[in-house]
Amino acid sequence: MNEETNIYEEEKLRLQNIANITNLDAGFLEYLQYPKRILAVSVPVIMDSGELRIFDGFRVQYNINRGPAKGGIRFHSSVSLDKLKALAMVMTWKCAVTNIPFGGAKGGVICDPKSLSRKELEKLTRRYTFELIPIIGPEKDIPAPDIGTNPEVMAWIMDTYSMDQGYSVPGVVTGKPVVLGGTLGREGATARGCIYITISLLETLNLIKGEMDFAVQGFGNVGFNAARYVSESGFRLVALSDSKGGIYNPKGLNVLKVKEHKDKTGSVINFKDANTITNDELFEVKCDVFIPAAIESQITARRALKMKCKVISEAANIPTTIGADNILRDRGLVVIPDILTNAGGVVVSYFEWVQDAQAYFWTEDDVNQRLRKIMKRSFEDVYMKSKEMKCNLRTAAYAIAVTRVIEATKTRGIFP
């Protein structure tokens, strides 16, 4: 969409801004600006045609002072090292702001999983995992699903790592199928966390008045579940979208019917009880809460000028550019930042890892209650900090995260 936005450069700017506000010294700022480790690997795969193809794979471990590295693995043709660096940095802040004992990581392979056969995808996954083995592990770095990967891919990662070790190691990866040690409640976790946070904000700011209208961008795992929970929580869903376009009905949309339509036609557009709109028009829909739940850099300065919502709840990672962020702030829109809003996914990944480590599993209610507790506490921390610092929620969330990471770094000291 907005190809000129380099999200790594933008995240460095956000970090520099926080460093200025919190008086972080130059050495430690520099320390936080670069990943601890970047591993780039060559992934050879024998394709079904018999031909040998080489794919580029990466794993970035950003910071592990607060615990093992944690972050998803993305299989997509748009994967780049800079993107992964930014996403790994954001994972570091996300784990810190929710105070779970993880550092940040991210990985990916430049490939188009849709054009690979299932067998090719399995071979690619297994070889990629094999190349990463020296730096991953349940105490070191724990991957998870991201764009283009799913529980099945996680199962292959778990199996490859376990075969190498000689025994089953379910805790090497999260987002696994439940049968292999996955947790209940993982699939809807990001969306659920987003709704908890959004409701907390609306209640705290006393914004719930009459019918509340929501618009959701993206209809993947997070978008669909967020839309579902919006409806289940008694709010009105007026607009939805996917990569092909959006649909709008001011009287409300039935999410499950839209899902049926998408399963049948491949897209949400042309749903019969709504007007089909463009992605640009989606951002201009009049609503109370807008939930970006697609990819990076979707809320650009141009779109930010036209948004007609009161609250933006960032279920996607890094959906808002810095330019857009400034416009939204000046226009008085409340943005609940990604590192808080969408942290539900990594929090339940953390629960999965805890359950694997203790080999004792919780009920779905247990998982959801614990998630709610962490999200609520994190929201309160960020909200109080924003009052104390007289700043917006993003700045407050980053300040908490950076302070926690630096505190851990300084307490541990610089080795050797």
- Give contact residues for another protein (rule: CB under 8 A): 25-28, 30-31, 33-42, 44-46, 51-54, 56, 123, 126-127, 130-131, 134-135, 160, 414-416
**Minimum Å distance from CB 411 to another protein?**
15
Q: Residue 373, SS3?
A: helix
Provide the H-helix boundaries in 65-150: 81-97, 118-132
Burial 243-256 (b: 16+ CB within 10 A, else e): ebbbbbbeebbebe
Q: Which is nearer to another protein, 234 or 416 (CB)?
A: 416
Answer whether the bond into residue 170 is a cis peptide, omega within 30°: no
The question of whether 106 is a catalytic residue gets the answer: yes
Q: Which is nearer to another protein, 49 or 206 (CB)?
A: 49
Name which of 209, 190, 189 is nearest 310 in CA terms.
Answer: 209
**Minimum Å distance from CB 116 to another protein?**
15
**Minimum Å distance from CB 52 to another protein?**
3
Q: DSSP code of 397?
A: H
**Minimum Å distance from CB 53 to another protein?**
7
Q: Which is nearer to another protein, 123 or 186 (CB)?
A: 123
Return the structure tokens found at 146. Answer: 């991201």
Q: For residues 201 and 289, what is the distance between their CA atoms, to the nearest angstrom?
A: 11
Residue-wise DSSP of 139-171: TTEEEEE-TT--HHHHHHHHHHHHHHHTS--GG
Q: Which is nearer to another protein, 261 or 404 (CB)?
A: 404
Name which of 100, 102, 105, 94 is nearest 402 in CA terms.
Answer: 94
Burial class (CB in 10 A: 0-12, 13-18, 19+), 152: middle
**Minimum Å distance from CB 51 to another protein?**
6
Return the structure tokens found at 24. Answer: 């972080």
**Minimum Å distance from CB 263 to another protein?**
33
**Minimum Å distance from CB 99 to another protein?**
24
Burial class (CB in 10 A: 0-12, 13-18, 19+), 162: middle
Q: Residue 38, SS3?
A: strand
Q: Which is nearer to another protein, 26 or 359 (CB)?
A: 26
- 103-110 and 52-63 strand pairing: antiparallel
Q: DSSP code of 47?
A: -
Task: Read off φ and ψ for residue 137, nearest 5 degrees.
Answer: 150, 160
Name which of 56, 181, 25, 104 is nearest 343 in CA terms.
Answer: 104
Q: Which is nearer to another protein, 77 or 233 (CB)?
A: 77
Q: What is the number of residues in the chain?
A: 416
Q: DSSP code of 71?
A: E
Q: Which is nearer to another protein, 47 or 178 (CB)?
A: 47
Q: Out of 106, 123, 176, 385, which one is annotated catalytic?
A: 106
Catalytic residue positions, numbered: 106
